[in-house]
Amino acid sequence: MKIDGAVALVTGGAQGLGFAVAKHLSGLGAALAIADCNGEALAELPDDWGRWQVDVTQPTDVKAAVAEMVVRQGRIDILVNNAGVIFSEPFVNILNPEGIMHDYRRFRDTLTVNLDSVFIVTSAVVEQMIKCRTKGTIVNISSISACGNEGQTAYSAAKGGVNAMTVTWAKELGRWGIRCNAVAPGFIDIDSTRRAIDESFLKHIKATTPLRRLGAAVEVAQAVASVIENDFMTGVVLNVNGGLTI
């Protein structure tokens, strides 16, 4: 797909990694529709970007917002499911005698924001793609944690589910000319990473990564653009992790 002239919806696109992806796609000529729950961050976006304040875990609100995007911008060619929250909690914590095991509510909340949201937004967008006969493309932002990461039961489960849905949708949606891929970043040097992971562990990550550094947000954005532009790529989970998993 040619990005120049396409309409791209980026969830969580008002800040962090999502903003980097949106900015990169905009620079390549895409018209932007940004869905984010942070109204203050949305207000700071460039004037020519479409913006919708919406909670991507609420199906009714998402469906209404997506329908409005299509009316206002004609169609949605590209969906980047970026919205999510990094969450860490050990499955067993003997230092907390009142709650030794991972809290179930936090497990469910993590799945809701990182997995359910991808299903909810993609359902709304694909419905519009099929109705408008748009041969579109979906890019899900996964994670290196999808293969299982110590201390991240809930987050790993969510991202593993994202990878499974990516492959399933690639198989189902190809008949309508809709492709679905995922980009799985490793440890990226952005605020959310530094809030979730302490500096000593990040030093360990750098030391064990073949490229000896964290990734940059723009490098993830470039990977997103590459799977959008390659029309024979579908069902792929593209790792962008500096070689950490090889």
pLDDT at 20: 98
pLDDT at 75: 97
pTM here is 0.95
Collect all residues with Cβ–Cβ distance below 8 Å to 214 and sequence separation of at least 6: 186, 187, 188, 189, 193, 202, 205, 206, 242
Identify the residue whose tokens are 């961050």.
41
Residue (of 32, 62, 37) closest to 48 by Cα position: 32
pLDDT at 143: 97
Is 155 marked active-site? yes
pLDDT at 137: 98
pLDDT at 192: 81
| Catalytic-labelled residue, pool 52, 107, 155, 187 | 155
Residues of the chain with pLDDT under 50: none
Q: Residue 191 in contact with residue 217, Cβ under 8 Å? A: no
pLDDT at 98: 87
pLDDT at 197: 78
pLDDT at 93: 95
Residue (of 185, 222, 229, 233) closest to 78 by Cα position: 229
pLDDT at 200: 84
CB atoms within 10 A of CB 68: 14
What CATH number belongs to 7-190+216-240?
A: 3.40.50.720
CA distance 224 to 140: 9
pLDDT at 195: 81
- Cα of first residue to Cα of last residue in the chain, in angstroms, is 30
pLDDT at 194: 81
Q: C-alpha distances in angstroms, 215 versus 57, 218, 243? A: 28, 9, 11
Q: Give buried/exposed letters for 43-54 (b at 16+ CB in 10 A, else e).
A: eebeeebbbbbb
Task: Give, to the nearest 10 degrees, the angle between helix 117-131 and helix 59-73.
Answer: 40
